[in-house]
Chains A and B, each alone.
Chain A
Amino acid sequence: MTKTLTHLERLEAEAIHIMREVVAEAENPVMLYSVGKDSAVMLHLAKKAFYPSPPPFPLLHVDTTWKFQDMYNLRDKAAKDAGMELLIYHNPEAVERGINPFDHGALHTDMWKTEGLKQALDKWGFDAAFGGARRDEEKSRAKERVFSFRTAQHRWEPKAQRPELWSLYNARKAKGESMRVFPISNWTELDIWQYIHLEGIEIVPLYFSAPRPTVERDGLILMVDDDRFPLRDGETPVMRSIRFRTLGCYPLTGAVESNAQTLPDVIQEMLLTTTSERQGRAIDKDAGASMEIKKQQGYF
């Protein structure tokens, strides 16, 4: 008797297999948790992979202090519900220098996220970090391995990637070197949404449309999430019915005007939309190969 597995069942089984390989082979794994929809799926898969044990690793949030308030709320709740330890890291230099997205541009991402991540991995000595990156997100990600080897300096060498055959992952490394592991490499944005829908996974309410205070700036609709948002002359927050397709630091994340209040609505809107997911992120707007350069430097 044959039971044809659906594409989501196969993707789920693959992700679980990858997570178990890491736990079996790494000494000190951690799951990076950014509170977005991909993180929500990753956390859900981790619960499945090790059930009835709780996932045998902590969650790590490399925080910038500039995330949406709704994200912080869900972060703490999700970790507690999963019975997992939640580690939160702030780059002390960024704290001290008051690095923020309004005054420091690209430095903001570099200090809080890229440098912060490296510091956090070193601090706790993690040798394998799960990330929720997907190959469909961006061209240079399409070639990233599932087990992505990083030097002791956290660099990614695209030309020295290990061949990855069948479902055999080589997790061996020397002291100080580490792995970034991407269990949902083969998922697409639609798969993520559909899985959230099917499995009833809790996500940040910002993915759903609601009236929110906004300003329009440099072609992006930005949400005024707290009183740190410096309004320019003539700017007054306007209530708009908006939602977010991707979540990051609130001053860097563009909203879309929308009436999608349910998951099917959101999926429908995503499928009918004419722009790709990352378009709302300021980080990818530079030269065509910007993501590849950021990754070589250690950005997730």
Chain B
Amino acid sequence: MNDQVYKTDALIAEDIDAYLTAHQNKSLLRFITCGSVDDGKSTLIGRLLYDSKMIFEDQLAQLESDSKRMGTQGQDIDFALLVDGLAAEREQGITIDVAYRFFATEKRKFIVADTPGHEQYTRNMVTGASTAELAVILIDARKGILTQTRRHSYLTNLLGIKNIVLAVNKMDLVGYDQATFDQIVADYTAFANSIGVTDFTAIPISGFKGDNITALSDNTKWYTGPTLMQHLENVELDQASDQSGAFRMPVQWVNRPNLDFRGFSGKIAAGSIRPNDEVRILPSGKTSHVDRIVTFDGDLEMGVAGQSITLTLKDEVDCSRGQIIVAAKDPLEVADQFEATVIWMDEADLIPGRSYYLKIGAQTVSATVAQPKYQINVNTLEHTAVKTLDLNAIGVATITTDRAIPFATYADNRELGGFILVDKITNATVGAGLINFALRRAQNIHWQATDIDRAHHANLKNQKPAVLWMTGLSGSGKSTIANAVEKKLARMNRHTFLLDGDNVRHGLNKDLGFTDADRIENIRRVGEVAKLMTDAGLIVITAFISPFRSERDMVRNMMQPGEFVEVFVDTPLSVAEERDVKGLYAKARAGDLKNFTGIDSPYEAPETPEIRIDTTAMTIEQAADQIIEFLLGA
């Protein structure tokens, strides 16, 4: 190995500026190593770090003493000790999490995800694979293709890794025998084809002895392919294909330093963008043209996938966090039901039908997972019928979101087709999912068919169902106005029902508090109840602070088009606080009441309500008349 000294050292010593220029232009490859302790995975990584001079003398000194104390290689250096991080892991001699390692050669910089290989750590491997562009699958030359090899190959392929390296390790222990290597490659080819992997690179190596890691080994003269390092340095990156597609950028943050600037910040997920390009904002579908591509280092002529930028548009269009700006001529699909492959990552089983948060791109929505269609046995790839998914289980299921979201299939784009599921109570990340395709709700979900339908209910009552949704600060006058509206409608023989915030919290929602999550769930339930009532043909009047725009929109989306009437009871905070009918503002100001809207919890005013009531300028009577006029005139 010693004759293969990297030229780097000489360049650093002689011409640091030249070295820096060269290093600055290096590309980045993220890869994952798959294999069990027995396969010599940690040894291989330690070897890569060692051979690329990423180990300092003090680390080496500690490594040498550690090797003698607890190594498994006698008096030789045990490279595995370099990379087994957590104390608990060192004691048990296994890797139980994902660790990231870094090294660089003259051509590239590398980030290695080091993950455990046992079946009970499937979630860790999935995590490591999610950001990798290449996978090194280790095989012990003495053992050949094992169950775990199949599992690792299936998972890397599932997570969309296109470059697979089959590293046939421990060649020193089989006498560097070509026939052994060839047999393993033949076996693997057959298996790989069966799971749809058409291309891989097989390399005979010894991580322990260093054969074919950075230099072609004299022990394997029959092998004429690249060394492992050469392959890592030269393999084509995913970047090229990411940039070639249509433009997509999830909006992370709206940048508004002053009234004259409104920019949309995000990281480009696919394609490229230039000023004057026509773009569409999803899910709203509104279009505009790019004005500027703003960065701290000056405006760009072109932005490409992988860059974090800020776009300004030529028109004043609504756009907020979670929406996706796409090429106008080639937009994404928008749907609210999907078939997805779900990987379960929590100790507690999946509960089909429970509402979880689903985060995709920069958007978080509520979603339910139906009972899985099947679970995939990661060892045999057989499908089995299951009722749920437990830790490390992978299954295919229907996901329904509470609103339509723009998406790509995972096969098309990892960033727009991969999602995580978060438990609403524990806030733990409980699962990850890959969108396979959208399902059309109307065609595939069969609601309980009833003979007396909603139109019949409404016809009997001789009215058009509607939801009059009052929103506004506490003390703004929602309940008072709602009450006045209902009285007037009753006199006109309309069938109504008034859902009031305080009353619902005493019954249906008495288990909910005032955290953001509880407020959201409060509104979701009220929305569902209101929806049932409109199905029954009623005019529903609600009086809830409902502070968040997204939840009001969620309710709007539950209703038939035109049935949701948002009534913004617009009373300035100072006026509401002055009235303080229930004495709540005083308590909130004194700190006795937490999460009080307007004081320490935000109120997001409607941007385009159907009706706006200015309570400082009209009487209750006038307000009620205005609402009824809208309702019956509409």
Contact = CB atoms under 8 A, between A and B. Distances in A.
B306 interface: yes
A168 B26 contact: no
A6 B86 contact: no
A266 B266 CA distance: 35
Nearest to B307: A13
Interface stretch (A71-79, A85-93, A172-180, A213-221): A172-180
A7 B109 contact: yes
A235 interface: no
Contacts of B267: 13, 16-17, 167
A48 B28 contact: no
Contacts of B84: 139
B79 interface: no
A174 B425 CA distance: 9
Q: Which among B12, B131, B252, B414 has the highest number of chain A CB atoms within 10 Å?
A: B252
B interface, over-half SS = mixed
B116 to A, nearest CB: 11
Contact of A48 (B16, B109, B252, B295): B295
A279 B58 contact: yes
Interface stretch (B146-154, B334-342, B370-378, B415-423): B415-423
A53 B357 CA distance: 30
Contacts of A190: 23, 104
Contacts of A5: 27-28, 239, 304, 306-307
Contact of B126 (A1, A47, A165): A165
Given A52-B294, A186-B102, A272 B9 contact: yes
Interface in B266-313: 266-267, 272, 294-297, 302, 304, 306-308, 310
Contact of A4 (B13, B237, B418): B237
A174 B257 CA distance: 30
B439 interface: no
B420 A48 contact: no
B24 interface: yes
Contacts of A172: 357, 422, 427
B243 interface: yes
Interface stretch (A62-70, A155-163, A223-231): A155-163
A49 B253 CA distance: 10
A212 interface: no
B17 interface: yes
A170 B20 contact: no
Given A17-B252, A17-B267, A186-B100, A166 B418 contact: yes
A52 B13 contact: no
Interface in A2-49: 2-14, 16-17, 20-21, 23-24, 47-49
B16 A139 contact: no
B632 to A, nearest CB: 42
Contacts of B26: 6-7
A194 B515 contact: no
A268 B432 contact: no
A165 B359 CA distance: 11
Contacts of B100: 135, 142-143, 185-186
A245 to B, nearest CB: 11
B475 to A, nearest CB: 24
B98 A53 contact: no
A201 interface: no
A54 B515 CA distance: 30
Contacts of A140: 85-87
Given A50-B255, A143-B97, A274-B56, A3 B243 contact: yes
Nearest to B97: A143
Nearest to B60: A274
A13 B102 contact: no
A136 B16 contact: no
A143 B98 contact: yes
B130 A53 contact: no
Contacts of B307: 5, 9, 13
Contacts of A275: 56-58
Contact of A47 (B86, B240, B296): B296
Interface in B338-377: 345, 357, 359-360, 362
Given A2-B240, A163-B432, A279-B58, A52 B127 contact: no
Given A10-B28, A168-B418, A173-B427, A53 B257 contact: yes
A174 B422 CA distance: 13
Given A164-B127, A175-B515, A2 B56 contact: no
B261 interface: yes
Given A13-B308, A167-B267, A268-B16, A4 B239 contact: yes
Interface string B1-24: 000000001001100110110011
Nearest to B109: A7
B62 interface: yes
A105 to B, nearest CB: 22
A289 B87 contact: yes
B605 interface: no
A194 B21 CA distance: 10
A276 B56 contact: yes
A5 to B, nearest CB: 5
B16 A267 contact: yes
B104 A20 contact: no
Interface string A273-300: 1111001000000001100100000000
Contacts of A198: 24
B574 interface: no
Nearest to A136: B102
Given A6-B25, A24-B321, A162-B429, A170 B237 contact: no
Given A5-B239, A165-B420, A166-B418, A24 B362 contact: yes
A211 interface: no
B379 to A, nearest CB: 21
Contacts of B126: 163, 165
Q: Which among A17, A159, A267 has the highest number of chain B CB atoms within 10 Å?
A: A17
A48 B17 CA distance: 26
A6 B308 contact: no
A299 B564 CA distance: 52
Contacts of B478: none
20 contacts: A1-B272, A4-B237, A5-B27, A5-B307, A13-B306, A17-B267, A17-B308, A20-B308, A48-B295, A50-B253, A53-B255, A139-B83, A143-B85, A163-B124, A163-B126, A170-B359, A170-B429, A267-B20, A275-B57, A288-B66
3 tightest Cβ-Cβ pairs between the two chains A and B: A7-B28, A289-B87, A274-B57
Interface of B: 9, 12-13, 16-17, 19-20, 23-28, 56-59, 62, 66, 83-88, 90, 97-102, 104, 108-109, 111, 123-124, 126-127, 130-131, 237, 239-240, 243-244, 252-253, 255-257, 261, 263, 265-267, 272, 294-297, 302, 304, 306-308, 310, 321, 345, 357, 359-360, 362, 414-415, 418-420, 422, 427-429, 432, 515
Given A5-B27, A143-B97, A158-B86, 17 more contacts: A2-B240, A9-B306, A17-B267, A20-B266, A51-B295, A53-B255, A135-B100, A136-B102, A140-B86, A140-B87, A162-B428, A168-B418, A168-B420, A185-B100, A267-B16, A268-B19, A272-B9
